Structure 1
Amino acid sequence: MITKLISHYLTEIMQSSLLKNAYYLMVGTGINSILGFTFLLIAANLFEVDAVGQSSAALSFLGLLALISELGVGIALIRFLPSAGSRSRNLINTAFTLCSASSIIFGVIVIIGMLIWIPELSKIFNNILFIAIFLSFAIALTLQPVISNIFIAKRATQFVLLINVIASLSKIVCLIFLYYLYHGNLSIFISVGLATTLVVILSLFIFIPKVEKNYVFSPQIDKICIKKISHYSAGNYVGRLFIQATPLILPLMVTSVLGATMNGYYYITYSFIAISQIIPSSICNSLFSECSNEGCIEKSNVKKSIAYMIVLLVALISIYEIGADIILSFFGDDYSSNGGFLLRTLAISVIPWSFFYLYISLERIKKHIKNIIIFSLFSTSLSLILCYLFMRSIGLHGIGIGYLVAQTFVSVPVIFLIWRDYLNIQSAEK
């Protein structure tokens, strides 16, 4: 009986491009997360908590820089690359060129901001060589999600699985190597940067040419491509800044208010929440690609996405609720005692967050830029404000309470709008 159910489930997935691509995204990111936890487990045992906290703060700055530098072109690629035709290569190379240039420009600004806002990290930027390394890593970290979106747009998400595995294994190898060779507080940071750079190079010269015929990487600016995607990219750029700002700003907020040690506990704990968010983000991105390729939003696809999303989330979150302390204890007793309650609370918040992300994905298909910006700003502002207030009052546990309250509040109008605009219709044109 169980064998038949599993066989039926796998057959349904492989017969549906929506579920198949979501499956590859989830498996790829899931393997990436498992190997990522192996990486964090090794890091937590090899390095002091302060080193973990310091590197995580530096990685948060790097992630924030990559987010700012992406310019919204990644989402635009999913939306417009399926219909780009002969200009596909120009569109891809234009996206790479714009993102790389903006990484360098914003990188200098971010470094200056780091020196002003977090003096504890200023000592790591004491030489030109490290600044050059930081900017190089920033370019790689900016291009990696853009590359993933190319594979999503082409409905070739098996390559997302491949680059995730390569990146994760490379991080572990680099970390162990650096521990014996360098053993500095930034070994974790450098390992992530080197691994990301490797997969970007492999993608540019090996993997992308496999899904885009006759593709050759070459820096260029195609004005026609820019004109076509500029408005859409700009709106989604602002929306994406708000959506991803919260997980990037919170580690900096924790470091500033509670210190690097508490940020180390938060960083490890939140990494498990990132696993939960893989499920809705993978399903929603696959839905986005499916609708962009097919030209309409099918009610059945929306319902199917919601059903699979909820079933998988409930199963994973149940594991966190039951075994939070045991899971975190693998990283050390201090991680368990400081992060158990936080993990349970944040895990529940993923359910309302998933409806928010689904709504944003559907609005991206319909090109409703204004709604994307409004709800993204609302969600991020409320989350950061409540997390800060609760954190100031009750410490690290306050982040979980504040974020859960904020996401629950945001999900109420979002669920209503999904039902009204996308579940009361048979299909919608692009």
Structure 2
Amino acid sequence: MSNLWRKIVRDLRNPLLRNGYALMVNTGITAVLGMGYWLLAEEFYTAEEFGRGQAMITVMRLFASLTALGLAGALAKFIPIAGRRTPELILRGYGLAAATGGAAAVGFLLTVPLWGETYSWLGGLGPDLFFLGAVLVWAVFTLQDVVLTGLRQAVWVPVNSLIFGLVKMGLLIALAGALPHGGIFVSWVVPTALALIPINWFIFGYVVPKHQKANPIEGRPPRLKEIGRFLAGDYPGTLSILAIIYLVPTIVSTQVGPATFGRFSMAHTLGCLIELLAMNMAVSLTVEGSFDPAQLAANCRRALRRAFMIIVPIIAVTLVGAPFILLIFGTEFAEEGTTLLRLMAVAVVPRVLIEVYLSSLRARGEARRLAFVQIGLAGLILVSIFALFPFAHVNAVGWGILLSELLVAGLIYRDLRKTLNFAKTGQRSVVERSSETA
């Protein structure tokens, strides 16, 4: 027991593992509280409203993430070296994410009758303005966690998620009688908006000044042109994340009724939470690769070992327990979602390899290769899902993700292995040269 405790303490002293673990804990908190939230929603709202609420939240997050997810990689890379321009970099990220998300939301609202009955709650001035505001709020909320991670303060991210999760659960129950139509969406958005003020006060009033003092940058901070080149390579790659987490379920919501979508979305959401565990360690890897490029490959090996150590048992539990997990929501959820959840859980194994490889490319600034891999993955996922949907219905989502990620992991494996082995070879070479000089 003492050896295990010493190992944990040693890991927590390493910024890569400390931030990675914090983000994984955050995903775990999100998963547990999310399950509780949707259990309450299933209890207090109708099946149609349950599915409609999930669809509204998904499409809101899709628009809010159009550039936020792309900017996440840039912020993770450049905040560690931004120096005196750190506040400016963060605010520019917030503004760009909100502007593009808001523009997409306006286009959606102008064409809302074309998106099917699931989005019938929209169409009036009040609901439309509320939805637009929700997109703007969520765009900033999405980047806050990345900002804290880039500043090596990811330990605060789970605290934020815990408070946010508890407040929205309480509001969900409170609105069940007063707002039976739209209560789910409102209960999700209001706590998000309220959280922006204290979190950003903490970031700009405490964390940023502390970061600037502890990490003085001797060279020039990154220029906008340099950041723009990185985004040109990294942003198209966010399509793969958008495709899996937000775009695919939005498209599915236009093909099925609200009740069916609710059952699909529950399994899909749980599958995405497992996949996010792989991405969490990768974000921390990008940050540490910017702080200390010389340790990139060693950190890649650490990230792979820890990610698999945590994720493999979770996948095993999901494979065995998927029907029992979904049965909590009802027999129909278990019957329609078990296969999808299992497929998405298995797909996380190749996703770990892909995410660590992509983070190594981000840290090295290899934007062109980064874009090529991620655009290819996004294209494969979308094409395979559309091709399989007529045969496998909603399970086509799971099959498409699994097959696409297995293929991409196979294609990048040799280069990833070369990166890992290069570090060992490089470190031995340095030692040998030092010995010869001595």
TM-score normalised according to structure 1 size: 0.91
- The reply to whether residue 145 of structure 1 matches residue 129 of structure 2 is no
- The reply to whether residue 95 of structure 1 matches residue 115 of structure 2 is no
Aligned partner of residue 209 in structure 2, secondary structure: coil
Give the drift of 1:256. 2.6
- The reply to whether residue 206 of structure 1 matches residue 202 of structure 2 is yes
Q: Distance in 1 between matches of 2:21 and 2:116?
A: 43
Matches within 5 A, 1:24-423: 24-70=22-68, 72-116=70-114, 118-184=115-181, 186-213=182-209, 226-423=224-421
Give the drift of 1:5. 4.4
Q: Distance in 1 between matches of 2:418 and 2:311?
A: 24
Residue 208 and residue 115 in structure 1: after superposition, are their counterparts in 2 closer, same or farther (change >3 A)? farther
Structure 1: which 5+ residue stretches go unaligned?
Answer: 216-223
* Structure-2 residue corresponding to 1:220: none
Q: Distance in 2 between matches of 1:304 and 1:78?
A: 19
Q: Aligned AA for 2:136? A: I
Give the drift of 1:248. 1.0
Residue 72 and residue 403 in structure 1: after superposition, are their counterparts in 2 closer, same or farther (change >3 A)? closer
In the comparison of the two structures, how many residue pairs are matched? 417
Mean alpha-carbon deviation: is it higher for 127-136 or for 387-396? 387-396
Q: Aligned AA for 2:375? A: L
Mean alpha-carbon deviation: is it higher for 84-93 or for 394-403? 394-403
1:78–1:289 contact (8 Å) kept in structure 2: yes
Residue 258 and residue 131 in structure 1: after superposition, are their counterparts in 2 closer, same or farther (change >3 A)? closer
Q: Aligned AA for 2:128? A: I
Q: Distance in 2 between matches of 1:159 and 1:244?
A: 25
Q: Distance in 1 between matches of 2:94 and 2:394?
A: 38
Q: Aligned AA for 1:74? A: A
Residue 394 and residue 388 in structure 1: after superposition, are their counterparts in 2 closer, same or farther (change >3 A)? same
Q: Distance in 1 between matches of 2:346 and 2:24?
A: 19
Q: Distance in 1 between matches of 2:402 and 2:293?
A: 35
Give the drift of 1:214. 8.7
The one-character-per-residue Cα deviations of 1:296-339 (angstroms, maximum 9, x if unpaired) are 34322111111111121110011111111111111111111111
Aligned partner of residue 257 in structure 1, secondary structure: coil
Residue 121 and residue 339 in structure 1: after superposition, are their counterparts in 2 closer, same or farther (change >3 A)? closer
The one-character-per-residue Cα deviations of 1:233-284 (angstroms, maximum 9, x if unpaired) are 2322221133322221221232233332221111111222123123211111
Q: Distance in 2 between matches of 1:405 and 1:14?
A: 35
Residue 384 and residue 419 in structure 1: after superposition, are their counterparts in 2 closer, same or farther (change >3 A)? same
Q: Distance in 1 between matches of 2:146 and 2:69?
A: 14
Give the drift of 1:351. 0.7
1:26–1:279 contact (8 Å) kept in structure 2: yes
Q: Aligned AA for 2:134? A: F
The one-character-per-residue Cα deviations of 1:91-114 (angstroms, maximum 9, x if unpaired) are 222222222333322221232344
2:65–2:101 contact (8 Å) kept in structure 1: no
Aligned partner of residue 422 in structure 2, secondary structure: coil
Q: Distance in 1 between matches of 2:107 and 2:388?
A: 30
Mean alpha-carbon deviation: is it higher for 337-346 or for 391-400? 391-400
Q: Aligned AA for 2:281? A: I
TM-score normalised according to structure 2 size: 0.89
Structure 2: which 5+ residue stretches go unaligned?
Answer: 212-221, 428-438
Residue 110 and residue 234 in structure 1: after superposition, are their counterparts in 2 closer, same or farther (change >3 A)? farther
Query: Percent of aligned positions with the same letter in both sequences?
Result: 22
Q: Distance in 2 between matches of 1:343 and 1:29?
A: 17
Q: Distance in 1 between matches of 2:57 and 2:76?
A: 26
Q: Aligned AA for 1:399? A: V
1:258–1:395 contact (8 Å) kept in structure 2: no
1:29–1:278 contact (8 Å) kept in structure 2: yes
Q: Aligned AA for 2:332? A: D
Q: Distance in 2 between matches of 1:120 and 1:367?
A: 44
Q: Distance in 2 between matches of 1:330 and 1:394?
A: 24
Q: Aligned AA for 2:125? A: I
1:64–1:245 contact (8 Å) kept in structure 2: no
Q: Aligned AA for 2:183? A: S
1:236–1:372 contact (8 Å) kept in structure 2: yes
Give the drift of 1:207. 4.1
Q: Distance in 2 between matches of 1:8 and 1:113?
A: 58
Give the drift of 1:157. 0.6
* Structure-1 residue corresponding to 2:19: 21
1:107–1:138 contact (8 Å) kept in structure 2: yes
Aligned partner of residue 13 in structure 1, secondary structure: helix
* Structure-2 residue corresponding to 1:218: none
2:377–2:405 contact (8 Å) kept in structure 1: yes
